[in-house]
């Protein structure tokens, strides 16, 4: 009991000190006592963990709606600025020297000086020029990144168009298209890139459907199935079989697994070849060349 009483008595001065500190304000008395018009504003909130410049820009834009007079400006801006602070940012404000802030310029300067380490470096034209499309990155992804950075920098249109073209993967279909058909302006280049990105997404969706189709297992051979004896290779017979296959092919029987339509064979699909060629250029697939001598090519048709 005595211990609890001693603790209560010993903490009392500490509580009194905290209460006294919270009563003290960094704002001078004339700012605290001055009255401002009752305005309804949706003030931004700052916790002290993000870029303070963005908060200051939003706060100043909101304060223009208050329409304070020149005499009310410092009072209104200081009082509402404090109302916008929360968390660590509000703690920082309360720890300022009492009665040290006499106008909004002093308050905003102290605020930006304290939060300067959180100020993000602005985007420059060199940042735009150094942007590159990563291997395996879709055109749509690179286009989004480029547009986002373009909105934060002011560069001539021809410089932005050159930076975009340079950033594309060398040898990619879009880069070739922009070199063959010179864009009229930056909007034309970005519009054509959007069309390529849309086609790329459609091709990827079609390819995913083909990969996701269940494969039919090979038919099990019966033990009683009769096997013809293996015959020697006859070039003339092979030639005759190939001729028969060519004659019996019917366009109505052709089917493309890539487009899932019966207009052409998968082997003859130009879109599939372009899609795989794009994957090859981006490094997603590899191609290994094997000479005919290794693959066991057919012999010449004999005479």
Tokens (6 digits) for 104: 């909004």
Mean pLDDT (the chain, rounded): 78
In a domain, 56, yes or no: yes
- Where does a domain end: 118, 152, 170? 118
Do 60 and 161 sit in the same domain of this protein?
Answer: no
Torsion of CA 135, 165, 125, 152, to 10 degrees: -80
CATH assignment of the domain containing 148? 1.10.1200
Do 82 and 150 sit in the same domain of this protein?
Answer: no
Residue with tokens 């269940």: 214
For the range 287-290, what are the long-range contacts, defined as Cβ-Cβ under 8 Å and sequence gap of 24 or more? none
In a domain, 229, yes or no: no
Do 114 and 27 sit in the same domain of this protein?
Answer: yes
Do 140 and 112 sit in the same domain of this protein?
Answer: no
In a domain, 26, yes or no: yes
Tokens (6 digits) for 81: 């600025």
In a domain, 142, yes or no: yes
* SS3 state at 184: coil
In a domain, 280, yes or no: no
Is residue 128 within 8 Å of residue 105, measured between CB atoms? no
- What letter does residue 269 receive in the DSSP assignment? -
Mean pLDDT, rounded, for 78-103: 95
Confidence of residue 238 (pLDDT cuts 50, 70, 90): very low
Do 108 and 138 sit in the same domain of this protein?
Answer: no
- Where does a domain end: 208, 240, 258? 208
Do 7 and 84 sit in the same domain of this protein?
Answer: yes
Tokens (6 digits) for 82: 């404090």
**Separation of alpha carbons 34 and 25, rounded Å:** 14
Per-residue confidence (pLDDT) for residue 58, from 0 to 100: 93
Do 84 and 34 sit in the same domain of this protein?
Answer: yes
Which range (162-171, 172-181, 242-251) has the least confidence?
242-251
Domain count, the chain: 2
Do 141 and 86 sit in the same domain of this protein?
Answer: no
Percent of the chain with pLDDT over 90: 40
For Cα atoms 192, 197, 203, give the angle at the middle one, nearest 5 degrees: 130
Helices (H), ranges, the chain: 2-23, 29-33, 52-63, 70-84, 88-94, 104-114, 125-129, 139-150, 157-167, 173-180, 186-212, 235-248, 270-282, 292-295
In a domain, 302, yes or no: no
Is residue 99 within 8 Å of residue 27, measured between CB atoms? yes
**Structural domain of 154:** 125-208
Tokens (6 digits) for 9: 């008595």
Q: Reply yes or no on whether the pLDDT at 243 is more than 60.
A: no
Do 189 and 91 sit in the same domain of this protein?
Answer: no
Do 168 and 81 sit in the same domain of this protein?
Answer: no
In a domain, 192, yes or no: yes
pLDDT tens for each residue of 115-149: 998 887 777 788 888 999 999 999 999 999 999 98
Is residue 215 within 8 Å of residue 266, measured between CB atoms? no
pLDDT tens for each residue of 246-274: 444 455 556 777 666 666 777 777 777 77
Angle, nearest 10°, between helix axes 173-180 and 186-212?
A: 150
Tokens (6 digits) for 291: 């000479």
- Where does a domain end: 208, 238, 269? 208
- What letter does residue 181 receive in the DSSP assignment? S
Do 193 and 168 sit in the same domain of this protein?
Answer: yes
Do 46 and 134 sit in the same domain of this protein?
Answer: no
Angle, nearest 10°, between helix axes 157-167 and 173-180?
A: 140
Q: What are the C-alpha distances in Å from 250 to residues 243, 253, 265?
A: 14, 5, 11
In a domain, 196, yes or no: yes
Is residue 173 within 8 Å of residue 196, measured between CB atoms? yes
Per-residue confidence (pLDDT) for residue 247, from 0 to 100: 45
């Amino acid at each position: 009991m005595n211990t609890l009483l001693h603790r209560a008595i010993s903490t009392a001065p500490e509580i009194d000190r905290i209460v006294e500190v919270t009563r003290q304000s960094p704002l001078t008395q004339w700012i605290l006592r001055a009255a401002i018009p009752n305005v309804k504003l949706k003030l931004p909130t700052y916790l002290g963990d993000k870029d303070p410049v963005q908060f200051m820009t939003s706060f100043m834009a909101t304060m223009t709606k208050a329409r304070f007079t020149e005499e009310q400006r410092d009072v209104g801006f200081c009082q509402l600025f404090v109302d916008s602070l929360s968390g660590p940012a509000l703690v920082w404000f309360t720890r300022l020297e009492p009665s040290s802030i006499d106008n909004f310029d002093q308050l905003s300067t102290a605020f930006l000086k304290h939060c300067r380490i959180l100020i993000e470096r602005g985007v420059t034209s060199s940042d735009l020029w150094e942007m590159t499309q990563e291997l395996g990155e879709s055109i749509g992804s690179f286009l989004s990144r480029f547009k986002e950075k373009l909105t934060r920098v002011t560069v001539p249109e021809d410089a932005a168009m050159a930076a975009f073209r340079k950033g594309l993967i060398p040898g990619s279909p879009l880069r070739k298209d922009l070199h063959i058909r010179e864009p009229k302006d930056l909007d034309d280049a970005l519009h054509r890139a959007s069309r390529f990105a849309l086609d790329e997404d459609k091709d990827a969706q079609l390819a995913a459907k083909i990969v996701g189709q269940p494969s039919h297992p090979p038919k099990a051979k019966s033990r009683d199935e009769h096997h013809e004896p293996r015959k020697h290779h006859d070039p003339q017979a092979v030639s005759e079989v190939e001729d028969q296959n060519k004659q019996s092919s019917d366009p109505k029987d052709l089917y493309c697994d890539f487009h899932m339509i019966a207009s052409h064979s998968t082997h003859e699909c130009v879109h599939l070849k372009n899609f795989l060629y794009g994957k090859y250029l981006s490094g997603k697939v590899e191609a290994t060349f094997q000479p005919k001598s290794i693959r066991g090519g057919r012999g010449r048709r004999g005479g």
